[in-house]
Structure 1
Amino acid sequence: MNFNEDFLHFIWRFRLFNSARLICADGEELRVVNPGISNKHAGPDFSGAKLIIDKTTWIGHVEIHLKSSDWLLHGHQHDSFYDGVILHVVYQHDQPIRRTNGSIVPVLVLQGLFSDQLLVNYKELLTTVNYFPCEKHIGHLDSFIVNTFLSRLVVERLQQKSEEVFQKLNVNQGDWEQTFYCFIARNFGFKVNAVPFDLLTAILPQHILLKHKDSALQIEALLFGQAGFLEQEFLEAYPLELQAEYGFLKKKYHLKPMSRSLWKFLRMRPQNFPTVRLAQFSALILKSNQLFSKVLTAYTLSDLYVLFNELPVNEYWQTHYHFNKKTKEVVVQPGAASIDNVIINSVCLFLFCYGKYTDQPDLMDRALDFLEKLPAEHNEVVNQYRYAGVKIGNAFTSQGLLQLNKCYCNQKKCLNCAVGIKILRK
């Protein structure tokens, strides 16, 4: 057998077997009225199944194994909960199985009851060496099927990411502003410097910055100082001012800076260096303190862009990527793609989370509406689906594809994927 139990689950769930005249292993006639609901938790594989065995109607559980003897290997013979199993579905029947009261569990053998092509399609998906299993097929499927599944995956993605937000919210004792501050900072670090930015917000809570919301120098000194970038010698006036200011604030708040070595610069465009991103983040804090409150009252994308555009970044960074290293003049404002990235991954997420937390579905709908209006992301993962022929018109679709890739394609869960199921059933 070159397949696992999941394949048999798939066949049973969608009744992809020849059901013209089903006969149990002991010769009793079987009719499947309802295969039941797949059980993702402990216990039998399907519950609520309705079967007619030898003219008697049964409602109960269905258990699925490759071999009948697997029932014993899994220890079900000692678990009275499995006494509710009304049918044992197997590929090979090598041993009769009894319930704890001694009665024999009826068995349906699937071997020879399903199409060989179904198994060929399944093996092709699982053994492909492409970027993702259905790379050769997804572009030829009905776009309605793909988009319908992606719509479900966008909500699934937001639900999963919400759990991380709620965990951080619990750590922050229900403070949404502090929690949003943590996530927006992480977003400014992109994937490469997300962890250092997260550590920074842990050792520099937002309430300290708010005490200095009217002083750009003090906000910049606190952020660069706590990030470890002021623990060196300087010759230029601006970093010397930051260093002096930080020295005072460090003593006032009993602060301890993180190590500068935690920040990553290698293989990055200078515009994305953590020093530049910190300068932009400092400017965002200066421009929009209590940022989450402002996000909640942003009803259009234009309202959001006002928050993140034209940040008052210190002019020093127009000619520097590092302290003490001057370069030619550059643009230090976040680009359109960077702002869209923050809105997609932080703003929309928090609108969805806060709406869910406070039972305000209009906020959840607003998050989804923003995703539909934002341009699609361009990254390695999304581009692979684009190359395969998937039409990606907005961030709603690209977010769905990221969830598809992470939770289905990478884990070869084609049997749980509407796209994979459609291909397998061809």
Structure 2
Amino acid sequence: MQEDFLHYIWKHRKFEQNNLETTQGDSVLVASVGQHNFNSGPDFFNAQLKIGNQLWAGNVEIHVKSSDWFLHNHEQDKAYDTIILHVVWDHDTDVFRSDNTVVPTLQLKDFTRKEVLNNYEKLFLKNGKWINCENDFASVEGFLRNNWLERLYFERLERKSETIQNLLKETKNDWEAVFFIMLAKNFGLKVNGESFYSIAKSIDFPVVRKSQVNKQTLEALLFGQAGMLEEGFENAYYTDLVKEYKFLKQKFNLENNTVTPLQFFRLRPPNFPTIRLSQLASLYYEHKNLFSNVMEAESLEAFYKLFKVSASSFWSSHYTFQKTSKTSTKTLTRSFIDLLLINTVLPVKFCYSKEKGEEVDTVILKIASEIASEKNGIVDAFNGLKKVSNSSLQSQALIQLKNEYCNKNKCLQCAIGNSLINP
């Protein structure tokens, strides 16, 4: 038996409320269970009870065993003199206030509904399951599940907002700089995300603004900060980049000694950092007011149009500075743009609008619902239990569900877990 489950039973009144009585034999009528306290102190504040013929207003403390009162040293803390009811699963000893009066005790196991207890035990009986509700996930009612996934999607946006807020502090509230850093990170994908992040952070955004007037200048800035212009390759494009970067480095006093080294290993050529950095430069060259454009866009097609850029012409026949390849235009694909929208654009749009007091939840939900579902281990596993992910909204929500609820056994705080415990 877990104390969290006792909190759940009390908070949601999952006990037989008629004929309640204390271990001392006094009747109990619960007018209000009180306010759940997640910090130090009693578990529920300001409960309202009638015990025997006496009306009480005060706090409720919950333990698995009555003797846990002494294990937690509550007898030494006067804050617990305000306890009007001690709710336990097993009553193994009486407890007293500092004036030696007995604290009334309610033994929950005498009044908990058997169905709720059986469902709880079934849910938390692991037996090697991927998630606790693995055997019952498919049976959850669709309306409940979809509402919960929508809420989880916004929880995930809130979590991503923490990174954005930290960057805002570092950049003195420069939203354009924050967007550039976040966008660069996601241009690097999983393998080079941290490298691209460090490259973007190594450049003051005003330098990016001043370099936007010329695509090759912006490429030289990014390639130079990435440490990719130190090899001495012999072609005109590379030589021009080196020359341009030397000028920029001196002009803006640039340093790149904190940049994380880039990786090419195990990457498909279209994801090589050379291609992605050139595409990033093209994006900022084509859209001098990219952040404003992104904040104003309200449809998926508008975003696809905005991000439809290609690497510069040199990269049409190259993936690296040295070796030529079959000619092809290196344009951002829709699937790559989807990743940028999921991981950068929508979180920043959500956070920015929230700070400005603007309502964009409907727009964000619409766009997230239109983007195709991600494919990864978590989403595939949930779809294996029941096909539930058809959009990025649902795939992002499932990631949040698995990482923040399933992995942490927080079934009692999960709408799906609740529905299975108390059908």
Same fold (TM over 0.5): yes
Pairing partner for 1:40 from 27, 35, 38: 38
Aligned residue for 1:237? 236
1:271 deviation in Å?
A: 2.0
Task: For residue 123 of structure 1, report the CA deviation from its aligned partner.
Answer: 4.2
Q: Which residue of 2 aligns with 1:217?
A: 216
Structure 1 residues 231-262: Cα deviation after superposition (integer angstroms, max 9, x where no partner): 22313332222122212222222222247762
Equivalent residue, structure 2, for 1:418: 415
CA distance in 2 between counterparts of 1:16 and 1:275 reads 60
**Structure 1 residues 264 and 67: CA distance shift in structure 2, 3 A:** farther
Contact 2:202 2:258 in 1 (8 A): no
1:261 and 1:196 map into 2 onto residues whose CA distance is: 5
Query: 2:152 — aligned with what?
Result: 153
Which residue matches 1:101? Answer: 99
1:120 CA displacement: 4.7
Counterpart residue number, 1:11: 9
Change in Cα spacing, 1:259 to 1:39, as seen in structure 2 (3 Å) is closer
Partner of 2:285: 286
**Alignment partners' CA distance in 2, 1:122 and 1:269:** 47
For the 8 Å contact 2:195–2:259, the answer to whether it is kept is: no
Structure 1 residue identity aligned to 2:182: F
Question: Once the 2 structures are TM-superposed, how far is the Cα of residue 331 of structure 1 from its aligned partner?
Answer: 4.9
How many angstroms does 1:177 deviate by? 0.7
Q: Which amino acid aligns with 2:338?
A: D
Q: What SS does structure 1 have at the residue aligned with 2:155?
A: helix
Q: How far apart, CA to CA, are the structure 2 residues paired with 1:259 and 1:321? A: 25
Cα offset, 1:128, TM superposition: 4.6
8 Å contact 1:229–1:260 — kept in the other structure?
no
Q: Are 1:406 and 2:403 counterparts?
A: yes
Measure the CA separation in 1 of the matches of 2:38 and 2:265. 43
The 8 Å contact of residues 227 and 259 in structure 1, kept in 2 or not, is answered as no
Q: What's 2:51 paired with?
A: 53
Alignment correspondent of 2:324: 326
Aligned partner of 2:79 among 81, 100, 105: 81
Distance in 1 between the 2:275 and 2:99 partners?
72
**1:200–1:388 Cα change, 3 Å:** same
Q: Secondary structure at the match of 1:23?
A: coil
Identity %: 37
Deviates further, 322-331 or 223-232: 322-331
Rounded Cα–Cα distance in structure 2 between residues aligned with 1:349 and 1:397: 15
Question: Aligned partners of 1:101 and 1:326: how far apart in 2?
Answer: 87
Structure 1 residue 118: deviation in Å?
Answer: 4.0
Q: Where in structure 1 are there 5+ consecutive unaligned residues?
A: none
Contact 2:195-2:260 at 8 Å conserved across structures: no
The answer to whether the aligner puts 1:350 opposite 2:359 as a matched pair is no
Structure 2 residue aligned with 1:62, among 60, 63, 83? Answer: 60
Higher alpha-carbon deviation: 225-234 or 54-63: 54-63
Decide whether aligned partners of structure 1 residues 306 and 93 sit closer, same or farther in structure 2, where only a CA change above 3 A counts. same
The equivalent of 2:163 in structure 1 is 164
* Counterpart pick for 2:363 among 352, 361, 366: 366
Q: Conserved in 2, the CA contact under 8 Å of 1:298 and 1:304? A: yes
2:250 corresponds in structure 1 to 251
CA distance in 1, matches of 2:135, 2:283: 44
If the length of structure 1 is used for normalisation, what is the TM-score?
0.92
Q: What amino acid is the match of 2:43? A: D
Are residues 1:389 and 2:386 paired? yes
**C-alpha contact 2:198 2:260 (8 A) present in aligned 1:** no
Alpha-carbon distance in 2 for matches of 1:131, 1:306: 41
CA distance in 1, matches of 2:90, 2:80: 20
- What is the CA-CA distance between 1:385 and the residue it aligns to? 1.6
- Among 311, 314, 317, the alignment partner of 2:312 is 314
In 2: Cα distance, 1:259 partner to 1:234 partner: 24
Match of 1:198 in 2: 197
User: Does the residue aligned with 1:59 lie in a helix, a strand or coil?
Assistant: strand
Residue type matched to 2:102 in 1? I
State the SS of the aligned residue for 1:42: coil
Residue 117 of structure 1 deviates from its aligned partner by 5.5
- The SS at the match of 2:190 is coil
Shift of 1:288: 1.5
Structure 2 residue runs of 5 or longer lacking an equivalent are none
**Counterpart AA for 2:93:** Q
Q: String of CA shifts for 1:279-298, please: whole Å, max 9, x gaps.
A: 21111111113311111221
Give a deviation string over 1:363-389, Cα, whole Å, max 9, x none. Answer: 343223322333322222222222211
Distance 2:374 2:277 in 1: 23
Structure 1 CA distance for aligned equivalents of residues 317 and 98 of structure 2: 79
SS in 2 for 1:87: strand
Which deviates more from structure 2 when the two are superposed, residues 392-401 or residues 350-359? 392-401
227-236 or 325-334: bigger deviation: 325-334
Distance verdict in 2 for CA 1:206–1:87, change over 3 Å: same
Quote the Cα distance in structure 2 between the aligned partners of 1:273 and 1:130: 38
Distance 1:161 1:175 in 2: 17
Helix, strand or coil at the partner of 1:161: helix
Q: What is the one-letter code of the residue matched to 2:381?
A: Q
AA matched with 1:251: Q
Partner Cα separation in structure 2 for residue 291 and residue 100 of structure 1: 66
Asked if the contact 1:351–1:366 (Cα under 8 Å) also holds between the matched residues in 2, the reply is no
CA contact (8 A) 1:414 1:420 kept: yes
User: Displacement, 1:121?
Assistant: 3.6
Q: Which amino acid aligns with 2:83?
A: V
Please state whether the residue corresponding to 2:29 is helix, strand or coil.
strand
Report the Cα offset of residue 400 of structure 1: 1.9
> Which amino acid in structure 2 is aligned with residue 415 of structure 1?
L
Q: Which amino acid aligns with 2:264?
A: F
SS at match of 2:245: helix
- 1:110-134 Cα shifts (integer Å, max 9, x gaps): 2344355544543443325333322
Compute the RMSD of aligned alpha carbons.
2.2
Query: Aligned to 1:325, what secondary structure does the other structure show?
Result: coil
Q: Which residue of 2 is the match for residue 143 of structure 1?
A: 142
Question: Is 1:91–2:71 an aligned residue pair?
Answer: no
Distance 1:260 1:199, change over 3 A: closer
The answer to whether the 8 A contact 1:58-1:86 is kept is yes
